[in-house]
Amino acid sequence: MRSTVVIGIVLLLVVILFGAGGCSYNGLVKEREAVNSAWAQVENVYQRRSDLIPNLVNTVKGAANFEKSTLEAVVQARASATQVKLDANNLDEAGLKRFQQAQDGLSSALSRLLVVTENYPDLKANANFRDLQAQLEGTENRITTERMKFNEVVQRYNTKVSSFPTNLFAGMFGFSPKAYFQSAPGSEKAPEVNF
């Protein structure tokens, strides 16, 4: 009789542990897939921006005496940005930082290109250029939105990975925290405006 009670208690504990582990594991898988989906959308909008650049460069090339070095900088920054690939299952801080630096380099080159175009009234009047510029601006807004959504999903995932008792199972099954997108260094300071 006594051994039956002990066996019953052990079996009950095993069932409870297995049930808790299964629920925790399934919840972690669900959150990991949400992170992967959000990351895919971030890559999607960055790819859209990358796809717009050749058309923008070709349109700008047509402007007489346009600064060749500015165009070369954009093309080179695009090439660098598209070479940095990140696996959604390995979104560590160092990898995300490399990805972000490459994308920031492209953003900077595009900003310089758009500033230089101010010196070319015929180019600014070109309907194709205006359309590409508007698409690029819209894409930059999408990038900001998707990065924000990605950070929200990563926060939910990281909270789940770190919360008790799920954290006990997370380590056993190889779930680890993911990195966040962060603002570019120096962006906390407002730019100086001189008139």
173 burial via Cβ count (<10 Å: 0-12, 13-18, 19+): exposed
Ranges of residues in the chain with a pLDDT under 50 are: 188, 190-191, 193-195
CB-CB contact of 122 with 63 (8 Å): yes
Contacts of residue 153, Cβ cutoff 8 Å, sequence gap at least 6: 31, 34, 35, 37, 38
Residue found under tokens 């070095």: 69
Written as one letter, the residue type at 115 is V
Segment holding 155, helix H or strand E: helix 127-162
At 133-142, the pLDDT tens digits run: 899 999 999 9
The DSSP line for 8-68 is: HHHHHHHHHHHHHHHHHHHHHHHHHHHHHHHHHHHHHHHHHHHHHHHHHHHHHHTSTT--H
pLDDT of residue 68: 79
CA gap 126, 53 in Å, rounded: 16
Torsion over CA: 115, 118, 123, 128 (sign): positive
CA gap 124, 149 in Å, rounded: 34
What are the structure tokens assigned to 134, written together? Answer: 């508007």
pLDDT of residue 2: 76
Contacts of residue 21, Cβ cutoff 8 Å, sequence gap at least 6: 169
Query: pTM of the entire structure?
Result: 0.78
The CATH code for residues 22-172 is 1.20.1440.20
Buried b (16+ CB within 10 A) or exposed e, 41-53: bbeebbeebbebb
CA gap 147, 96 in Å, rounded: 12
pLDDT of residue 141: 93
pLDDT of residue 190: 46
